[in-house]
């Protein structure tokens, strides 16, 4: 995985001198369980260093990191600090009380612990308050009237 990320990221960070190959304008990396690859503790590895580099410098190069994890507090603070958009699903009160969630007021934090399946909270600087997103039930689970 390190070789793949490094090779693709280097295409944007250090473009090849010959223009025989077209490099996409945007490159998107999807990483599940980011807390395993960029943990909050001070353990370092080549993969962690690369994820930190992408999180800190990637947007300016057209490299976008989209990640998912159950516990944002378990992800390295340099990654979460560079995150522009956060989408939060139902979480336990112990997780919500972590410093990573200080951008939310207490009423919103208590509502996060009671979100239903398919309900998420989206936070971005463009909105004054986080907004609630509700995904509809799949068609096969909807009742006919």
- Which residue segments constitute the domains of the chain, with CATH numbers given? 1-8+24-83 (3.40.50.300), 84-136 (no CATH)
Sign of CA dihedral 9, 59, 99, 31: negative
**pLDDT tens digits, the chain, 145 residues: what are they?**
788 888 888 888 887 776 656 788 898 989 999 999 899 887 788 889 999 999 999 888 888 999 989 999 999 999 999 998 999 999 999 999 999 999 999 999 999 999 998 999 999 989 999 999 998 878 887 776 5
In this prediction the pTM is 0.78
Q: CA 86 to CA 73: how far, in whole Å?
A: 13
């Amino acid at each position: 995985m390190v070789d793949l990320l490094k090779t693709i990221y280097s295409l944007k960070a250090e473009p090849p001198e010959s223009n025989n190959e077209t490099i996409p304008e945007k490159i998107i990396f999807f990483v599940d369980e980011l807390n395993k690859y960029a943990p909050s503790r001070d353990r370092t590895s080549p993969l962690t260093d690369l994820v930190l580099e992408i999180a800190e410098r990637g947007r300016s190069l057209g490299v976008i990191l989209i990640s998912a994890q159950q516990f944002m507090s378990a992800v390295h603070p340099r990654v979460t600090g560079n995150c522009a958009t956060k989408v939060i699903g139902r979480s336990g009160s112990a997780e919500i009380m972590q410093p990573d969630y200080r951008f939310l007021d207490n009423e919103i934090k208590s509502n996060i612990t009671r979100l239903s399946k398919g309900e998420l909270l989206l936070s971005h600087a463009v909105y004054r308050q986080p907004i609630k997103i509700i995904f509809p039930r799949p068609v096969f689970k909807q009742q006919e009237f």
